Structure 1
Amino acid sequence: MRLGWLATNTLRVTFWHSLRVLCQLAWVLLLARALGVTGYGTYSGVAGLAIALSGLVGLGLGLRLYQDVARVPELFALRWHEASRGWMLSIVPVALLFIAIGKAMFPQQGWDSLVLIGMAELAFSPWIAQVASAYAAHSRVSAAAAVPVVGSVGRVCAVACFLFFVPGQDLNAYALFHACALGLATLILVAACKRSFRPARQKVGLGWESIRSGLGLSTVWTSAIAWSSLDKTFALRWGGDHVAGNFTAAQRFTSLATLPMEALVASALPRMFRRGAGSDEHAGMMPALLCAAIVYGAIAAVAIYLVSDAIPWLLGSDFTEASLAARWLALYVPASCLKVLLVHSLLARGDVRWRIATECAGLGLMVCGMLFLLPEHGTLGAVYALTIAEYGVVALVSVRLIVTRKWT
């Protein structure tokens, strides 16, 4: 049986996402056992803040590279150099902002861990994302899916070296290994990307039009990243390291179930961009993707509920609360699968402002929920807040697509 382009690439992307899932699972298992529930919660909360701010690094020009090169491949060299220049101009201000906010939210946190975590997530991770965008923009979605796997392997190597060389639960020592591993992975990926596409040397000056366009997309990227990372930061801030550790463990296990849906959307995104630009190809693609999201979300929710009891066995008895949290988070999985598709549909159609508005509204709902529910319900309070906010975003985006008749 001959498979179509989308099916073939989805299988390839799913393969790489499966490797990424295995690496992330190994990383979570090793890191949780290495740092304990409190150390793991502290690291996740601080790293979540850095990851949320990493969307500002590069001024959104990496996502502009993806959008424009997917439509006009000849623009690659120009957009690559613009994105690189944007990283150079933005990295120092964003890093200083992270340290200032981090010290204000977590005054007990040492400078060493803040700087090292910031270096890993603000300096190196955006470059990895830019390389993935370069491959995806050329419709090499399989290679684009392989790029994050290299970063995930680096994380596993970091925690393995930490366990081998450093006795005890020293967060600063792990942060050093983590930053070095991501730095090495970034150097390898950037060198391979340049060798593949050989962008011509250009003297690039960023004009206001380029910065304005990039900042618009940067807001999209930042809101999306903030949505998936700040929940750990808020859990640490208002629930403490024990609550943050259990909630993060449950949320990370649950998020693994949504990766196949992310693989499917990542495979379809170049075509979604072309349809958003006016192309009439593959008219039945979006309804098919919607059906896939609904069916897969229901199946994944059942799977998460059934395997949730394995979390304490995998991570240790300190993570008993994470098992109950994962069972409740099974309700969150169908909404998460739908949201992945719906928000990318808005992006592909150019409805950037509405996507930003809905994700910010959902983030505000999550913040309010955690602020009021965490003190009384602990780990489950964070779960309730996240689930309610996720369904709220799905409802808002669905209304927008139906009213504007952009679901085609």
Structure 2
Amino acid sequence: MRQHNLKGLINSPILKSTIGASGIYIFRIATQAATLILLGKLLGTENFALFAAISASAVILGGLSTLGMNVLLLGETSKNHDNREEVLSYALPATLISGGSLLIFFLYLVVQVFEYSSENLLAILSIGIAEIILYPIILLIAAAHQATERINLSQFLVSLPIFLRLAGITYIWSVGHSEPLSFFFSIYSLVAIITLVTAKFIGIGSYPPISKWRFPRKQEIRSTSGFMFTNFLSLSTNELDKALAVKLIPTNEAGLYSVGTRIIGALVLPVAAMIVSALPKLFRQSAGNQKLIAGIFYVALIYGLLSVIFVAATAKAIQQIMGSEYAGLKEALFYMSVITPGLILRITAGNILMTKGMTLHRLLYEFGGTMLMCILFLALSGPLGLIGLTLGLAVSEWMMGLIGWGIIYLNHKNNLASRLPSL
């Protein structure tokens, strides 16, 4: 049965899309690795921890900007391509309005909580505008491409800012800028604008003119609220730990933690390519894809377990590449390797539940997992430091991944039982 599920996935069109997207993802992994190495060496552990905290906060707030309408756009356009322009007519203005409000909160957070110098407020404004307003618009455009199964184009748009930021870091490295962190933040908006211009030239067709923009109706807001909170919680689970690390453990340890978790996050990208390729089909046929879902589970589990071995085996080499300032990274990565399978299971289960219309289930267990992570961080950071945060993240990721797939399994059993004839 398992061989049949895997064979079905291998022979399906999903594999072709996955291979195409994987080419972009492989380039993306290489780019992220180069970015991580250059930025880590450029900033040092303490400044890298500050960068991770500020950028994580911007990403989390950016997840709220679209109000979940990027997922609605993906789902509605996957079912009927004619729905694209209608959803965009209220998704674009809603993103701009909510993003502008969240930007004000972000500026307050960075200056007051993270105590970033107010003299460099323009740099913070740049990353805020990019992550909270411009990138969410890019995500809407990418979702429209993804819904029409132009997966490679969608992932190109999402990945382009990463490639451009690497170019910016390379420039900073070559000229030896005196304020590398502030200058790096400053280029974020430029990168986002270049990506938006590129998206316009390789566009999805006509965009709704401003004259047709409107506020979303109450029913439309209600239909996206679950997606919005799910996006927020998912991003919080991915990024909140880095923001908390700066406040809970010494900054040099927080820097090691942030580098290590970003390496772990990069390993998830090949599985992300698979799930991204499968989403349009899962949205269209949410009730008839049990073989595909089973295949995704086995691939995710096997890949996750192999990732543990890979991280543990390469930890020493990674520390040598990062340099003497990152002493202790090898041990940190060794412990962090156990996070990977749980993280992969959480991401795949969450996306499948979303396509089944079970957003509330995902919302509840990801909220519980995020709260558990925060509690464990507070309890373990004092006595165990970096290892305590790693343990807290591992427990919460595994818990969410297993609960998510448990819900999918129970849902499948209930569906089978409902089809049996009554006696």
- What TM-score do the two structures reach when normalised by structure 2? 0.90
Matches within 5 A, 1:271-282: 271-276=281-286, 278=287, 280=288, 282=289
Query: What is the CA-CA distance between 1:241 and the residue it aligns to?
Result: 2.4
Work out which of the residue numbers 327, 330, 336 in structure 1 matches 2:337.
330
Corresponding residue to 1:69 among 77, 94, 97: 77
Shift of 1:113: 4.2
Aligned to 1:295: 302
Q: 1:144-180, CA deviations, whole angstroms, 9 ceiling, x for partnerless residues?
A: 1222221111110121222234433542222112332
Of 255, 269, 274, 1:264 maps to 274
SS across alignment from 2:213: coil
Corresponding residue number in structure 1 for 2:421? none
CA distance in 2, matches of 1:328, 1:407: 38
Greater shift, 24-33 or 101-110, is seen at: 101-110
1:192 aligns with 2:201: yes
Bigger mean CA deviation after superposition, 259-268 or 76-85: 76-85
- Which residue does 2:6 correspond to in 1? none
The superposition leaves residues 27-53 of structure 1 with CA deviations (integer Å, 9 ceiling, x where unpaired) of 111111111111111011111111111
Displacement of 1:383 in angstroms is 0.9
Alignment of 1:200-279 (within 5 A): 200-201=208-209, 203-205=212-214, 206-276=216-286, 278=287
2:374 match: 367
- Residue of structure 2 equivalent to 1:10: 18
2-structure distance, mates of 1:100, 1:167: 26
The reply to whether residue 41 of structure 1 matches residue 63 of structure 2 is: no
What residue in structure 2 maps to residue 339 of structure 1?
346
Return the match for 2:59 from 51, 54, 64: 51
Unaligned runs of 5+ in 2: 1-9, 416-423
- Aligned-partner residue type, residue 97 of structure 1: F
Which residue is equivalent to 2:396?
Answer: 389
Amino acid at match of 2:187: F
SS where residue 400 of structure 1 aligns?
A: helix
The CA distance in 2 between the partners of 1:55 and 1:108, in whole Å, is 22
One-letter amino acid of the structure 1 residue matched with residue 265 of structure 2:
S
* 1:87–1:72 CA distance, 2 compared to 1 (3 A): same
Q: Deviations over 1:187-242 (max 9, x none)?
A: 322x1353x42235361322112222223211111111111111110101211421
Aligned length: 402
| Counterpart amino acid of residue 197 in structure 1 | G
Q: Does 1:318 align with 2:321?
A: no
Q: CA RMSD in A?
A: 2.0
Tell me the secondary structure at the aligned position of residue 59 of structure 1: coil
Distance 2:78 2:114 in 1: 41
Which stretch shows the higher mean deviation, 336-345 or 346-355? 336-345
Partner of 2:375: helix, strand, or coil?
Answer: helix
Aligned match of 2:420: none
Distance in 2 separating the partners of 1:186 and 1:235: 33
The equivalent of 2:127 in structure 1 is 117
Shift of 1:389: 0.7
Q: 157, 160, 174: which one pairs with 1:164? A: 174
Determine if contact 1:57/1:126 at 8 Å carries over to the other structure. Answer: yes
Whole-Å Cα distance in 2 between the matches of residues 109 and 71 of structure 1?
48
Asked whether the 8 Å contact 1:20–1:148 carries over to 2, the reply is no
What's the offset of the Cα at 1:73?
A: 0.8
Structure 1's unaligned 5+ residue stretches are: none
Matches of residues 110-189 of structure 1 in structure 2 within 5 Å? 110=118, 111-189=121-199
- Give the aligned residue type for 1:263: A
CA deviation after TM superposition for structure 1 residue 3, in Å:
5.2
Query: Post-superposition shift, 1:112?
Result: 4.0
Deviation track 1:112-154 (CA, whole Å, cap 9, x = no partner) reads 4432321221122212212221110111112212222211111
- Tell me, yes or no, if structure 1 residue 96 matches structure 2 residue 117: no
8 Å Cα contact 1:298-1:334 kept in structure 2: yes
Structure 1 residues 3 and 403, CA, compared in 2 at 3 Å: closer, same or farther? closer
Q: Which moved more, 1:306-315 or 1:164-173?
A: 164-173
Alignment-mate amino acid for residue 251 of structure 2: D
Shift of 1:102: 2.9
- 2 CA distance for matches of 1:22 and 1:256? 9
Cα distance in 2 for partners of 1:350, 1:30 equals 42
Residue 185 of structure 1 and its aligned partner are, at CA, apart by 2.2
Give CA-to-partner distance per residue, 1:75-127, whole Å, 9 cap, x none: 11111222211112212111112223333422354334432321221122212
Contact 2:151 2:276 in 1 (8 A): yes
Alpha carbons 2:319, 2:329 under 8 Å: kept: yes
Change (3 A) 1:238 1:339: same
**What CA distance in whole angstroms lies between the structure 2 residues aligned with 1:378 and 1:168?**
31
Contact 1:48 1:233 in 2 (8 A): yes
Q: CA deviation at 1:58?
A: 2.1
Letter in 2 for 1:135: H
The superposition leaves residues 11-42 of structure 1 with CA deviations (integer Å, 9 ceiling, x where unpaired) of: 00111111111111111111111111111110
Which of 387, 404, 421 is the matching residue for 1:380? Answer: 387
> What letter matches 1:254 in structure 2?
I
- Decide whether aligned partners of structure 1 residues 9 and 407 sit closer, same or farther in structure 2, where only a CA change above 3 A counts: farther
| Contact residue 273 and residue 349 of structure 1 kept, 8 A | yes
Q: Is the 8 A contact 2:227 2:359 kept in 1?
A: yes
